[in-house]
Structures are given as structure tokens and as C-alpha cells.
Chains A and B, each alone.
Chain A
Amino acid sequence: MKGPVEVLLVDDDPDDVFLAEKAFGILGALHRFHCASTGEEALELLRNAGKPGGIPLPDLALFDLNLPRMSGSELLAAVRRDPRWRRLPIVMLTGSPVDQQCLEGEDPRVTCYLSKPDRMRAYYAAARRIEAFRRAAAKEPRSPEVAR
């Protein structure tokens, strides 16, 4: 049996962090959240990930699009520049259902976009969708034949 799913969650809103943990709580797989409230903090966590004293290597990352200072898209770009995180499944979260184009140039198999739900039922559904996305992404071959 594999260990818990390590999730890096970057959101400056503690309510949203709480709701995300709640939503994933109903899934069978144990999700362990590592939280950062800014992009800079997230990059720092990733730099030491897997090292002694650092967070475990993440299996999934959730980035709020609307972060203070460095935006979610900028964080995404910065993370993807590091070869270690090229295939890390990343979900971009937004509070408003607009601008899908922020994912341009990203491989949809490892990056997806989701607007934050308002009802709990929708939260649970989103958590299930994200988990399915993570599993599908994890099965992807590690070869760099990334289409566009």
C-alpha cells in the first residue's frame, strides 16, 4: 500500500485551505497537505522538498490563481522551469470563472484549471475530479514527448 498523497496547497485564504482539506477528507486516499500562502513561500518549500527538514516530494499541487505579489500563473511558470516538477500534476484554482488562457503552453495532462466551488457538494466533486486527474497524470510515461 502506497503512503499518503502529498499535496502542496498554495492559497493565502485560510478558509479555502480549510475547505480543501475538508473536501479531500472524504476521499479514501489519505491526503496530506503542505500549505504556503504565497508563491515565494511555495518555491521555498519546493526547493527543500524531499530533503531532510523539508516537505516530502509532492504528488500534487494546488495553486490559487489570485495570490498576493507573485500570481498563481507566475508561480506555475517558475515551478515548471525546474526539471524536477515538469510532470508534477498541478491544479490552478480560481475564485471566478474567467481567463482559461492562463494555461496556454501547458500540457493538459499535468496541468488543469478549476474554479473554486461554492457548495460543499461541488467541493467533494471537485476533490474527486482532482484525484482522478492526479492518478491519470501519475500514470503518464516520463518521456518528454509533450505535445505542445
Chain B
Amino acid sequence: MSAPESLTGAQPQAEGGLSTGAGGIPVPPAPVLLVDDHRENLLALEAVLLDLGQPLVRAASGEEALKRVLGEDFAAILLDVQMPGLDGFETAALIRQRERSRSTPLLFLTAINKADPFVFKGYSLGAVDYIFKPFVPEVLRAKVHVFVELFQKTELLRVQSRRLAEANAELRRSNAELEQFAGVASHDLREPLRKVSAFSDLLAERCAGKLDDTERRYLELITDATSRMQSLIGSLLEFARTGHGPRVSEAVPLQRIVSRVVADLAVPIRETGAVVRVDSLPLVSGDPNLLTRLLQNLLANALKFHGPQPPMVRVSARRQGADWLVSVKDNGIGIDASDHDRIFALFKRLHGRERYPGAGIGLAVCRKVVEYHQGRIWVDSEPGRGADFRFTLPACEGGTP
């Protein structure tokens, strides 16, 4: 077999075993240590194992092997049993004593010590295999290949778990930063706005009678814009904080949540002449405050985006595997199919503020709440034919509709 051939031959094997780990982590090399006092044996081993595509490290004695394992991790160590100086068994015992090489797979090779007691001794020293020479090259290669893969997988896992730990630390840091930002925003951004409102009012009071209609209108516009900014900051904070508190997962009776939300919406319900029908709703597992917010937003939207007829809203649920599929359906103005995804984005508004006021945060919060509960939210709707907002929530054991 010529060198280039053996190299190309190595490719599929290496790739067939492992390519890259999750997150594009390159597969680490898996060096194999070959220990034999005969140079020609080492050469023969190398020829057999070359196709693995891994670094092959030679040691001509047990002593040299020990030196090697001190400084490097090996996927496997192939040990000749019969050697001058430290023999294979003694070398194995010493390798086993060292922390770094305690669990490195050892494979004994022997042409002489084939009797059972030797085999037994080899295994009792922690060998994973005891191979008689002459060996079948393919079999040896296949055996070492198993350990090469194991080594690479272990290394990949090590790298991945380190990265995961780093990512977790980073996440904790950024959560803390977000909280800090939220705190700063809630106080420091609102503070000047309060002043703009209050002093605009004072100006209006002082100039009462002196201002004409236009001037009064300008002052009103200032205070209106300011309170809009106030509520925008409030909503943004709410969005940022959604799901960032301590994780809560308890049995939540959706029925009670919806009843409370409907009671809270008594004013818009009366004003729009809406009919809200609530079917029998189940127990779900989750955070009651977040779920209240979710249903508040959806029901408020159902009441807000109504057409010429009074709103008809229906809340229902049906079981879907381990989840409940909840639906909040209205007979309102509906949503064009091209907007079905966009409406869940932050600050996305489809209508002018004059007609349908709002910051464009409600549905973004809804999506965040549902995703926090490992669920999915979407809308079935056509313009003029109402909207059916659907989401899934994990069922709670013993929950019945």
C-alpha cells in the first residue's frame, strides 16, 4: 500500500467515526502509544494503524512509555509483554498508578506469553484486550479504532461541557446585566419624563387663560407623548423581565385565571358590548402570574381589535398528547396571513395608533410566556373573519378539562 493511498484511506475512516461535534468543535486527535523493544514490531504496528489517521507515538521500552504517558493523553496503549527492563506487565502496573493514565485503555500484545495465567494477569492489570501475535491487521485496527472513537467522544464531551459551563456563566452574567439595566431604566429613564409631565402641567396651570387653543394643544401633545413614553418604558421592562424571575412551575387552574382576567376586563367588555364565552378549562403546569399576563394580553386584544359587531370571544382547550391546546377565538378584524408571524415580534404594530392604541409589546410578551412554558403560539386568521390565537401548555398530572 503506497503512502498517498493510505492517507486517502484514512479520511473516510476518520470521518466515518467522528466528524465534528455539536457547535462545530473540531475532532481532537487521538494519539496511540505503541510500546515494543523491537523496532520492526513498532514499524509493523504503525503500518497497521496508519489508516486510523491518528498520531502514533513510539516507545522502545517500558521506561520510555512511562515518560510518554506523563506528558500526554493517549486513546490507547499497545504494550508488548516481553521486554527487557520493565516488562509489559510492570509497565502496565505503573501506568495504572498514575492519575493521568489511570483509565487509558491498555492492549497487550504477545507472541510468547499465551498461557492462561499470563492472559489472566494481563486482564487483572486492567487490560482491555490481550492479543496474540501474529494478529490479523484488520482486527487489531478495528479494536484500536473503537478506543480512538471513545477517546474522541470523551474529549468532545469534555470540550462541550466546558463550553456549556462557560455559556451558562455568560448567561447568568447577561441576566444580571439585564436586571440591572431594567432597574436603571425603570428609575433613571422615567425620572426626566416625570418632570416633563409635571412641569408641562404647571406651565398649563400658570398660563391658564393666557393660552390659545393651539398653545394648549401643544402642551397636551407634550404630556401625551410623555405618558406614552412612560408606558413604553413600562412595557419594555415588563417584556425584559418576563420569565427572568425565579422559575415557577405549579398546577395552575386556567379556569380561575381566565375568570379573573375577564373580571379585570369588565370595563372594555361593557363598553364594547362583548360576549366572552369560557369553556371548561384544564389544570396546566406553569407560572400563574405569567399565564395571567398571557391571557390578559390575548383577551384584551380580542376585545380591542373588533369590527363593526360587538366582540364575541371564546376561550376553549383540548388535550393534545402531553399538552393542552388552548384557543382564544374572536370575531374581530382578523389578520392577513403575511402578518401571522410578524405580530409576535417586539414593537410590531399593524395599525395606526389613532385607531388601535398600543405599544406592540403584548403579543411579544405572549410568545415569551408560552416559550417559557416550552409551548408554541400561533394564530389562525383571515382579514375580516376573526382571529384564533392558539397556544400549547404542558398539562398538569390529574388535570381534566
Residues of chain A whose beta carbon lies under 8 Å from any beta carbon of chain B: 13, 15, 19, 22, 66, 95-96, 98, 116-121, 123
Is there contact, CB below 8 Å, between B187 and A96?
yes
Closest Cβ–Cβ distance, residue A25 to chain B (whole Å): 11
Residues of chain B whose beta carbon lies under 8 Å from any beta carbon of chain A: 186-187, 190-191, 193-195, 197-199, 201-202, 205, 223, 226-227, 230
Is there contact, CB below 8 Å, between A95 and B201?
no
Contact of A118 among B186, B202, B205, B227 (CB under 8 A): B227
- Complex CA distance for A118 and B202, rounded to whole angstroms: 11
28 A-B residue pairings within 8 Å (CB atoms): A13-B191, A15-B195, A19-B198, A19-B202, A22-B202, A95-B187, A95-B191, A95-B194, A96-B186, A96-B187, A96-B190, A98-B186, A116-B194, A117-B194, A118-B193, A118-B198, A118-B226, A118-B227, A118-B230, A119-B197, A119-B223, A119-B227, A120-B198, A120-B201, A120-B202, A120-B205, A121-B201, A123-B198
Contact of B194 among A66, A98, A118 (CB under 8 A): A118
- Complex CA distance for A13 and B190, rounded to whole angstroms: 14
- The residues of B that contact A119 with a CB separation of less than 8 Å are 197-198, 201, 223, 227
Closest Cβ–Cβ distance, residue A113 to chain B (whole Å): 15
17 new A-B contacts, CB < 8 A, other than A96-B186, A96-B190, are A13-B191, A15-B199, A95-B187, A95-B191, A95-B194, A98-B186, A116-B194, A118-B194, A118-B198, A118-B227, A118-B230, A119-B197, A119-B223, A119-B227, A120-B198, A120-B201, A123-B198
Once A and B bind, how many residue pairs between them come within 8 Å at the CB atom? 36
By beta carbon, the residue of chain A nearest B193 is A118
- Complex CA distance for A61 and B26, rounded to whole angstroms: 66
- The residues of B that contact A96 with a CB separation of less than 8 Å are 186-187, 190
- The residues of B that contact A117 with a CB separation of less than 8 Å are 194, 198
By beta carbon, the residue of chain B nearest A22 is B202
By beta carbon, the residue of chain B nearest A65 is B187
By beta carbon, the residue of chain A nearest B194 is A118
By beta carbon, the residue of chain A nearest B226 is A118
- The residues of A that contact B199 with a CB separation of less than 8 Å are 15
By beta carbon, the residue of chain A nearest B204 is A120
By beta carbon, the residue of chain B nearest A96 is B186
Is there contact, CB below 8 Å, between B187 and A66?
yes
- Complex CA distance for A98 and B186, rounded to whole angstroms: 9
- The residues of B that contact A15 with a CB separation of less than 8 Å are 195, 199
**A117, A120, A121 — most chain B CB neighbours (10 Å):** A120
Closest Cβ–Cβ distance, residue B205 to chain A (whole Å): 7
- The residues of A that contact B198 with a CB separation of less than 8 Å are 19, 117-120, 123
Is there contact, CB below 8 Å, between A118 and B197?
yes
- Complex CA distance for A19 and B202, rounded to whole angstroms: 9
- The residues of B that contact A120 with a CB separation of less than 8 Å are 198, 201-202, 205
- Complex CA distance for A117 and B191, rounded to whole angstroms: 10
By beta carbon, the residue of chain B nearest A23 is B198
- Complex CA distance for A15 and B197, rounded to whole angstroms: 12
Closest 6 interchain pairs by CB? A120-B201, A118-B197, A96-B186, A118-B194, A96-B187, A95-B187
- Complex CA distance for A96 and B189, rounded to whole angstroms: 10
- Complex CA distance for A120 and B204, rounded to whole angstroms: 10
- The residues of A that contact B205 with a CB separation of less than 8 Å are 120
**B191, B193, B205 — most chain A CB neighbours (10 Å):** B191
- Complex CA distance for A117 and B201, rounded to whole angstroms: 12
- The residues of B that contact A95 with a CB separation of less than 8 Å are 187, 190-191, 194
Closest Cβ–Cβ distance, residue A30 to chain B (whole Å): 20
- The residues of B that contact A118 with a CB separation of less than 8 Å are 193-194, 197-198, 226-227, 230
Closest Cβ–Cβ distance, residue B340 to chain A (whole Å): 35
**B186, B190, B193, B201 — most chain A CB neighbours (10 Å):** B201
- The residues of A that contact B223 with a CB separation of less than 8 Å are 119
- Complex CA distance for A82 and B215, rounded to whole angstroms: 52
Closest Cβ–Cβ distance, residue B181 to chain A (whole Å): 13
Closest Cβ–Cβ distance, residue B228 to chain A (whole Å): 12
- Complex CA distance for A116 and B198, rounded to whole angstroms: 11
- The residues of A that contact B201 with a CB separation of less than 8 Å are 119-121
- Complex CA distance for A144 and B202, rounded to whole angstroms: 43
